[in-house]
């Protein structure tokens, strides 16, 4: 017996919004309950969830379930097509990646494959809410200009019905493989079920889901287990997962495979970090200058700063990887000291550079001024990472200079100027006691203040249109006699590279369109280039 009679009883594939198969139950969430025929004995309908449950049914073949998922995906893709054309907005960036409509969060599947760069991101097209994540897909030849590609995955299957969550990509010969976490929520209490899944493409554009490669949770781990990162180690593959132990401590879960298909749990790593957050998200692992490093996002760590109230962090630690696949971490430090940076991914360019991009947002922030226009969040610019003399260095990728336009040399002495743009690349060196104000208008500005007494840089956005989140960040620079800055601004964001990239501060900054002034309390020379727009990473021109 097939699924066909159950599908017909629900009113057909076009009436099915989700399919779930938990605990020997077959559950369909329907779009229109009046189309349910009710011909199968023993079915129960939950009006709150708009779900019909069949408790007596044959175990469906995996291929049949995948075919049903393709049918659901067809409808979801048709719905999403209405949201791929962007709406224009005064806060829309000129060269950062932003969603056409809806919500963007984590970058995913960042990779170089068959002569082209691929960048995916978490996307909910239909509103500025964290729901039912899709993947969006962009490609590029130069890491600056990105082209929209067909939507690769929607939450259409029994194993990812409530979200195609984050993951990474693997270039496996001609195939591009996407590893991701399938998120499922069951019943009114929304019990979480997670599996680690894979989708495969032969042309880098059209992807076919293959389903879960890891069904079960690691021992003593809660369903908060996600964000697979795949790396090659000796003659086998390792999968790193962000995980939460049952005692609510964040750790790395490690799996092994010989073929990228069959995976075996190895162990939980990270005990040497102690009580270091209740959950670790979005792991990454790579080598820089013969130093192995692991990126991870620990949640639930209090900051030493009174100004930093957000419990979500993202940082990098030195790592040691044993021949057996054990990972030991040490010397954790923040990757970014600004307001908005989370869930980054790195990739290796064609010429061997390690490049990183993050989500310029945070999990608990969903009320930016751009919400009024129907979209929220963007990705950070791409940065090259280096490890020099024991220090992590991050600087804008060299390709960013291709967007430079007119150059201006300013000499400011307790004075200001109108840049007439909010998209620029600025370099300067400031003395302690200086304050540099950007995006200055009649009542708005972003302040970069160098406190000479404490030798601390303060980034203050309290005079902007910020609606949510912290308003001040501080960074101690006690060893610096002067402070070198390179600042890249783009309409509603700023990324500040401090002392040749030893520190970075990434932040969304919302000010009126006409707020294009710059003022310096102090004296300095500034080199400023206007930055032209990159190709828009959308399906078509602005709606």
Beginning with the edge strand found earlier in the chain, give each strand of the sheet holding 16-20 in spatial order.
Answer: 16-20, 26-30, 51-54, 44-46
Encoded tokens for 423: 């998209």
Burial 301-311 (b: 16+ CB within 10 A, else e): eeeeeeebebb
CA distance 408 to 410: 6
Query: Which 3 state secondary structure label does DSSP give 35?
Result: helix
Which residue, 161, 144, 142, 141, is CA-closest to 153? 161
Sign of the Cα torsion 60, 66, 68, 69 reads positive
CA distance 187 to 189: 5
What is the CB neighbour count within 10 angstroms for residue 352? Answer: 6
Catalytic residue among 9, 106, 157, 470: 106
Do strands 51-54 and 102-113 pair parallel, antiparallel, or not at all (unpaired)? unpaired
**What's the start-to-end Cα distance of the chain, in Å?**
48
Go through the chain and tell me how many residues it has: 543
CA distance 226 to 242: 5
Which residue, 153, 146, 96, 84, is CA-closest to 117? 146
Which residue, 68, 67, 63, 46, is CA-closest to 55? 46
Cβ atoms of residues 270 and 315 within 8 Å: no
DSSP, residue by residue, 110-169: EEEETTEEEEEEEEETTSSS--SBEEEEEEESSSSS-EE----B-S-STTSTTBEEEEEE
Q: What is the DSSP letter of 322?
A: -
Q: Which helix (H) or strand (E) holds 51?
A: strand 51-54
Q: How far is CA 232 from CA 236, 264, 274, 531, in A?
A: 6, 15, 27, 38
What Rg value do the Cα atoms of the chain yield, rounded? 24
Encoded tokens for 62: 């995996």
To the query of whether residue 535 is one of the catalytic residues in this protein, the response is: no
Neighbouring residues of 379: CB distance < 8 A, sequence distance ≥ 6: 96, 97, 98, 104, 107, 119, 121, 357, 358, 359, 360
| Burial tier of 170 (Cβ tally within 10 Å: 0-12, 13-18, 19+) | buried
Encoded tokens for 10: 């629900």
In SS3 terms, 347-363 reads as EECCCCCEEEEEECCCC
Catalytic residues: 106
């Amino acid at each position: 017996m097939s699924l066909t009679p159950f599908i017909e009883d629900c009113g057909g594939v076009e009436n099915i919004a989700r399919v779930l198969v938990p605990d020997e139950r077959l559950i369909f969430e329907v779009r229109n309950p009046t189309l349910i025929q009710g011909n199968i004995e023993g079915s129960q309908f939950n009006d709150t969830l708009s779900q019909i449950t069949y408790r007596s049914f044959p175990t469906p073949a995996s291929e049949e379930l995948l075919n049903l998922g393709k049918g659901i995906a067809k409808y979801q893709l048709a719905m999403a097509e209405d949201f791929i054309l962007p709406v224009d907005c005064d806060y829309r960036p000129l060269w950062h990646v932003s969603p056409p409509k809806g919500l963007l969060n984590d970058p995913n599947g960042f990779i170089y494959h068959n002569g082209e760069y691929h960048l995916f991101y978490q996307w909910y097209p239909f509103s500025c809410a964290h729901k039912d994540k899709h993947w969006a897909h962009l490609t590029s030849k130069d890491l600056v200009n990105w082209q929209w590609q067909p939507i690769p995955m929607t939450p259409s299957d029994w194993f990812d019905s409530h979200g195609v969550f984050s993951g990474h990509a693997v270039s496996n010969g001609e195939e591009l493989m996407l590893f991701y976490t399938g998120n499922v929520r069951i019943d009114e209490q929304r019990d979480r079920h997670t599996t680690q899944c894979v989708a495969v493409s032969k042309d880098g554009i059209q992807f076919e889901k293959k389903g879960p490669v890891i069904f079960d949770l690691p021992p003593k781990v809660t369903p908060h287990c996600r964000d697979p990162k795949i790396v090659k180690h000796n003659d086998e593959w390792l999968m790193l997962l962000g995980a939460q132990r049952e005692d609510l401590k964040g750790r790395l879960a490690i799996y092994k495979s010989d073929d990228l298909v069959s995976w075996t749990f190895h162990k939980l790593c990270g005990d040497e970090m102690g009580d270091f957050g209740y959950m670790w998200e979005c792991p990454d692992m790579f080598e820089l200058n013969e130093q192995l490093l692991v990126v991870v996002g620990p949640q639930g760590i209090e900051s030493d700063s009174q100004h930093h109230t957000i419990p979500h962090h993202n940082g990098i630690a030195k790592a040691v990887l044993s021949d057996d696949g054990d990972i030991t971490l040490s010397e954790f430090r923040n990757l970014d000291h600004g307001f908005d940076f989370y869930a980054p991914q790195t990739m290796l360019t064609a010429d061997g550079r390690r490049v990183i991009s993050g989500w310029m947002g945070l999990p608990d922030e969903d009320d930016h001024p751009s919400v009024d226009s129907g979209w929220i969040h963007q990705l950070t610019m791409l940065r090259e990472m280096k490890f020099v003399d024991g220090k992590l260095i991050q600087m804008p990728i060299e390709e960013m200079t291709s967007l430079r336009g007119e150059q201006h040399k300013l000499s400011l002495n307790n004075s200001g100027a109108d840049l007439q743009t909010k998209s620029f690349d600025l370099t300067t060196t400031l003395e302690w006691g200086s304050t540099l104000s950007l995006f200055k208008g009649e009542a708005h500005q972003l302040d970069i203040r160098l406190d000479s007494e404490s030798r601390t840089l303060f980034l203050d956005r309290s005079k902007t249109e910020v609606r949510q989140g912290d308003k001040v960040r501080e960074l101690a620079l006690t060893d610096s006699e002067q402070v070198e800055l390179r600042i890249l601004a783009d309409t509603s964001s700023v990324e500040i590279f401090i002392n040749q990239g030893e520190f970075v501060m990434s932040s969304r900054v919302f000010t009126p369109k006409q707020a294009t002034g710059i003022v310096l309390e102090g004296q300095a020379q500034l080199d400023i280039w206007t930055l032209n727009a990159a190709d828009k990473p959308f399906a078509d021109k602005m709606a």
